Amino acid sequence: MIQAFIFDLDGVITDTADLHFRAWKKCAGKLGIDIDLTFNERLKGVDRIGSLERILEFGGKSNHYSLEEKLKIAEDKNDYYKKLILDVNPKDILPGIHSLLVEIKRGGYKIGLASASKNAPTIIKSLEIDEFFDAKADPSTIANSKPAPDIFLQAASILEVEPTECIGIEDASAGIESIKKAGMFAVGVGDPEYLKEADYLVNSTEELTLENMLKAWNLK
């Protein structure tokens, strides 16, 4: 039986990808690297330092910076990103997500968060949906980021449920891989081209309902 639903944040609950992109574009520009929205797809669900590594590789500058310098660049990006998320408010919740959280809670299921973002707790508060979450995995305590299963497993462990009793919801291919490796049922939101491994796929958050997800799980 399903006991819990574990959500990714960026791309599932709200769309912070554009804000991450603006912050990275500014920092990458200072390094002489120009990134575009197509490249940005490769940063979704990837943690902060992992994102910087991908940007440097894209710009052919993988070996140009020391670890200390990279940490400073990542810190600058985060300072700028934190300014951008000051404006986040309940209107930024993606369509259908608030009613889905209400529906899941009414159904008696637990709700967890498995975001790679260290800013996730702040964003969840700004969206005014903190009360729905029974557990939030802490990415700063996780050894291996997505696509490793660690973050989804930590959320299940805090919720005190087995991974097989969880449905994970993700928009990024690294995230779907993470859910599958954790042994959970994976719901993908977005482009089938990137999310081939999902057990159940919808085009947008509006199509996510408790009934559809449980139906898909029953059919698996």
Applying CB under 6 A, the residues found at the interface with ligand B16 are 8-11, 20, 43-48, 51, 78, 115-119, 172
Q: Which lies closer to Mg ion via its Cβ, residue 45 or residue 163?
A: 45
Nearer to ligand B16, 7 or 185 (CB): 7
What does DSSP say about strands 166-170 and 185-189: parallel, antiparallel, or unpaired? parallel
> Which residues, in sequence order, are CB contacts of 66 under 8 Å at separation 6+?
none
User: Which 8-state DSSP code applies to residue 188?
Assistant: E
Cβ 149 to ligand B16 shortest distance, Å: 14
Query: Could you give the CA distance from residue 130 to residue 112 in angstroms, rounded to a whole number?
Result: 11
Half-sphere exposure of 73 (CA within 13 A, CB side): 23
End-to-end Cα spacing for the chain: 13
| Residues 103, 86: Cα–Cα separation, whole Å | 28
Q: Quick one: which H or E segment has residue 103?
A: helix 97-106
Question: Measured from the CB atom, is 1 or 144 closer to ligand B16?
Answer: 144
**Cis amide prior to 147 (ω within 30 degrees):** yes
Piece of the chain touching Mg ion by CB under 5 A; list 45-53, 75-83, 125-133, 184-192: 45-53
- Sketch the per residue contact string, 170 through 209, with Mg ion: x for CB under 5 A, - otherwise: -xx-------------------------------------
Residues recognised as catalytic: 8, 10
Contact between 11 and Mg ion by CB under 5 A: the answer reads yes
DSSP string, 20-57: HHHHHHHHHHHTT----HHHHGGGTT--HHHHHHHHHH
> Which region, judged by CB under 5 A, interacts with Mg ion, from 38-46, 151-159, 160-168, 211-219?
38-46
Q: Which residue, 197 or 214, is less far from ligand B16 as judged by CB?
A: 197
Does residue 45 touch Mg ion according to CB under 5 A? yes
Shortest separation between residue 122's beta carbon and Mg ion, angstroms: 16
Residue 147 binding partner per list Mg ion, ligand B16, none, with a CB distance cut-off of 5 to 8 Å that depends on partner kind:
none
117 binds, among Mg ion, ligand B16, none (CB under 5 to 8 A by kind): ligand B16
Contact positions toward Mg ion, by CB under 5 A?
A: 8, 10-11, 45, 171-172
